[in-house]
Structure 1
Amino acid sequence: MLKLTDVPTEQVSAITDLVLAVLALFIFLYFIRPEFKSGWKRNCWICFFGVMFIVGLLGSVIHGFQIAGPERIFMWHVLFFSLGLFLVSFTLAIIGDLAGERISRKLLPYIFLIGLIFYFIAVSRIDGFIVFVGYQALVMIPVVIGYTWMGFRGRLPGAWYMVVGGLISLLAVVLQVRTALEFTFVWTFNHNSLYHLVQTIGVLFFFAGIRKSLRASI
């Protein structure tokens, strides 16, 4: 029988992970509505938010319950594989916006291979999640630069929301790598829970940008 953790920082991390998962689920359900035309871009984002829901749910369980032995190892493997798919769908969606759908489709097998490489590297390290955070930091740089350029050129509705989302995600990365960070304000927050909270705000901006660009194509 699963037992809830009694570590305050882990309890808060579990709650904030769950908040991120619920948000991702609502956005997933929003974009699968028939009012949005089916297409490569929409499908990439639907996959992204669907996987985000799974990742957030798994993270909430890992943080929130006392799980040891093979079960915990198995859950981390599933989480890292899901994070690989998370990165693949996000990267393909961004490439589709910045370079075009044809190039995004063409790069699918190579981006998927990168996702698999990420998985194998992550499961081979004790601090495997930091590999994900490093990839996130790298991919957010072209996100900020690319969408800024598209915003100035007026080439994509919602581009500036994407820029803000990218900047907030970079801030989340900075908080995540500051592993000694911890403070108490009603609850006890550490680098994990702060990462989740800041990333949640970033996701809201990404949602606004994606929604605006998809609505422009209706």
Structure 2
Amino acid sequence: MTDPREQTTAVTDLALAGAALLAIRRLRGPAGWRRRIWQAAFALLAASGVLGAIVHGLRLSPSTRERLWQPLNVLLALIIALFATAAVSDRWGERTGQRVLPALALAAPGFAWLSRRLQRGFLAFIIYELVAMVSALAIYADLARRRQLPGADRMTLGILVTIAAAGIQTSSLEVVIGEIPFDHNGLFHLVQLAALPLLVEGVRKSL
């Protein structure tokens, strides 16, 4: 039988996928570069949630699980690349964002591949995420302080919660909520679910 903690992680993965689909719906509107970037990021988040639910929720052979982790890591790396592109676009303009996107998108699969080859690959991936998130935090905090971008304050809060989620991801924290066990992966998803509304509403306000 699959570990109950893996089952709850799978459920929270699906919840994250559902929230990402709702985010795409919330961001519907006139076509534009920034809107497309954010919707693409949330689409990849939804896909990674479904794939994560499969990896955590089903009884798979080690080889199958390993094969599924590779595209999952690529999806996660691409989400971070799109997030960074959006932050660059908001700070330095869409043209700059369009210039950096190809490099970030091409680097993401390479980093995902490298992270799977390292002894503590996922820790390396979390560091990659934290570097991107801290950079985005600095950008949106500055934009909020200068009042140059509507919604930047909410996005700053959303990024702070995301960074907290990443910290939980690297821990060995486990809790039981109402007799339901959560390991660090499930808790990471729960905290990330709290960050999404802040990010989405901030983005909506900025578009």
Counterpart pick for 1:44 among 16, 26, 37: 37
Counterpart pick for 1:184 among 165, 176, 185: 176
Q: Structure 1: which 5+ residue stretches go unaligned?
A: none
Instruction: Determine the structure 2 residue equivalent to 1:55.
Output: 48
Alignment partners' CA distance in 2, 1:90 and 1:198:
18
Alignment partners' CA distance in 2, 1:183 and 1:83:
25
Percent pairwise identity: 33
Is the Cα contact below 8 Å between 2:38 and 2:86 reproduced in 1? yes
Q: Which moved more, 1:22-31 or 1:46-55?
A: 22-31
Deviations 1:127-182 (A, max 9, x none): 43333321221112122221111112111000000110111011111111112x11
Instruction: Determine the structure 1 residue equivalent to 2:3.
Output: 7
Counterpart pick for 1:26 among 22, 25, 35: 22
Q: One-letter code of the match for 2:175? A: F
Deviations 1:175-215 (A, max 9, x none): 11112x1121220111111111001111111001001111x
Paired positions, count: 206
1:125, distance to aligned residue in structure 2 (A): 3.4
**Aligned to 2:45, what secondary structure does the other structure show?**
helix
1:98, distance to aligned residue in structure 2 (A): 1.5
1:126, distance to aligned residue in structure 2 (A): 5.3
Evaluate the alpha carbon distance shift between residue 164 and residue 175 of structure 1 in structure 2; reply closer, same or farther with a 3 A threshold. same
Deviations 1:93-150 (A, max 9, x none): 1111112111111112221232122122123235433333212211121222211111
Within-5 A mapping of 1:123-202: 123-125=116-118, 127-179=120-172, 181-186=173-178, 187-202=180-195
Is the Cα contact below 8 Å between 2:112 and 2:125 reproduced in 1? no
- TM-score scaled by structure 2? 0.93
Q: Structure 2: which 5+ residue stretches go unaligned?
A: none
Q: Which moved more, 1:37-46 or 1:48-57?
A: 37-46
Alignment partners' CA distance in 1, 2:100 and 2:144:
24
Q: What is the RMSD of the two structures over their aligned residues, measured on CA atoms?
A: 1.5
- TM-score scaled by structure 1? 0.89
Q: One-letter code of the match for 1:79? A: L
Evaluate the alpha carbon distance shift between residue 126 and residue 68 of structure 1 in structure 2; reply closer, same or farther with a 3 A threshold. farther
Alignment partners' CA distance in 2, 1:120 and 1:91:
19
